[in-house]
Structure 1
């Protein structure tokens, strides 16, 4: 996925540059589609869903909005937000940082976090997961996908864009969501090759979680 090279770019700059190329590379993931099906099978009709790091809106927001759910997509990239607004007009999209934007507690039935934490520090990732958990109603669902590698501030190139990647080993991702007040209902680990000339196979971890009845950990 990454090769060692160059200084860090901000997440917004990286995904502004990638635009629709990111969708072409990743939207065909069978595991991502299966994860969305898992969520659809459990969501009440007309649920309110937050898509944190919504990208172009496809597949996540498109699938959920197409099933009749009320989707708010949030992304730091203006280019991605504009693409999503055009491609998935039945959902709402905002260009904002989910780590700091106002989020009412217990206001969503589900939260999706598909590969949107990897350019944050470990402390930031943990804080965002806690924040998103608090935004879930008790009993609400959170689906998180990441690349489960034990790396911190790794300097490299992703689809031609310079980045610094931080992630956790799989068992530490599970510990992180549990510490936030979530119960892991199921998990899936797969290898996926993005549809991009410079991409190599990469491990993907999907966690399907539920918020408990009490308040999440701060």
Structure 2
């Protein structure tokens, strides 16, 4: 591992990948099923936060096409430029989600598809807690990750250097529960991105709800 001074910027790999990332993951049927699950639980015109919005496809595009008010946030300026061009009916901000002011109970749903993997475990847990608080009671959070027991491991992702941290499925479920969410359904699958440097990787989709009767801990 490298020290933090030499740690790749979280957006650097995705600046380099650009539209190649979208092409590599476009075939994920589990991601599409996850979005369908969420669409089936949103009232018309719901406000949705897409954390790590990438190129805007498929998440922001699918939600905006269904008439929802989507805010996408991503640290990669290349990705944000692509998303704004491809999904003009959504709003995108190039920013670190930690720096974006978000009011409590201001969103009906939050999507977090594979956007936590370059944060350390403390940061991931804290962000899940914060995103739970921005959900209105009864709102839904969809979280997807690569469920592995890895902590600060330097790796190569589609030819780009990244530092990866993740939780096992059981440990992530604990983090989600401690944040004040209940897991309604989950799907575990194996997916191979359509890229010559990609390998099969486990994917975990957690479909969660903030209970209407109780608020998450501060």
| TM-score bracket, shorter-length normalisation | over 0.9
Which string of whole-angstrom CA distances, capped at 9 and with x for unpartnered residues, describes residues 164-195 of structure 1? 10000000111111110001000000000000
Question: Per the alignment, in what secondary structure is the counterpart of residue 206 of structure 2?
Answer: strand
Gaps spanning 5+ residues in structure 1: where? none
Deviation at 1:27, TM superposition (A): 2.2
1:101-180 equivalence runs, <5 A: 101-180=100-179
CA offset at residue 147 of structure 1? 0.1
Q: How does 1:55-94 map to 2 (within 5 A)?
A: 55-94=54-93
Kept after mapping to 2: 8 A contact 1:15/1:77: yes
* 1:212 positional shift: 1.5
For residues 136 and 153 of structure 1, what CA distance do their matches in structure 2 show? 29
For the aligned residues, what is the CA RMSD? 1.4
Where relative contact order (Cα < 8 A, 6+ residues apart) is larger, the structure is 1
2: CA distance, partners of 1:215 / 1:42: 20
Contact persistence 1:8–1:162 (CA under 8 A): no
CA contact (8 A) 1:112 1:143 kept: yes
- Aligned partners of 1:166, 1:27: CA distance in 2, in Å? 23
SS in 1 for 2:177: helix
CA-to-aligned-CA distance 1:45-81 (integer Å, 9 cap, x gap): 1100000000000000000000000000000011100
How do 1:33-48 residues align onto structure 2 when only pairs under 5 Å count?
33-48=32-47
SS of structure 2 residue aligned to 1:178: helix
Deviation at 1:32, TM superposition (A): 0.1
Aligned residues: 215
Q: Which runs of 5+ in 2 are unaligned?
A: none
Partner of 1:11, secondary structure, is coil
CA deviations 1:25-50 (Å, max 9, x no partner) are 11220000000000001100110000
Deviation at 1:87, TM superposition (A): 0.2
Tell me if the contact between 1:16 and 1:80 (Cα under 8 Å) persists in the aligned partners.
Answer: yes
Q: 2 CA distance for matches of 1:72 and 1:127?
A: 21
Which aligned pairs between 1:162-201 and structure 2 lie closer than 5 A? 162-201=161-200
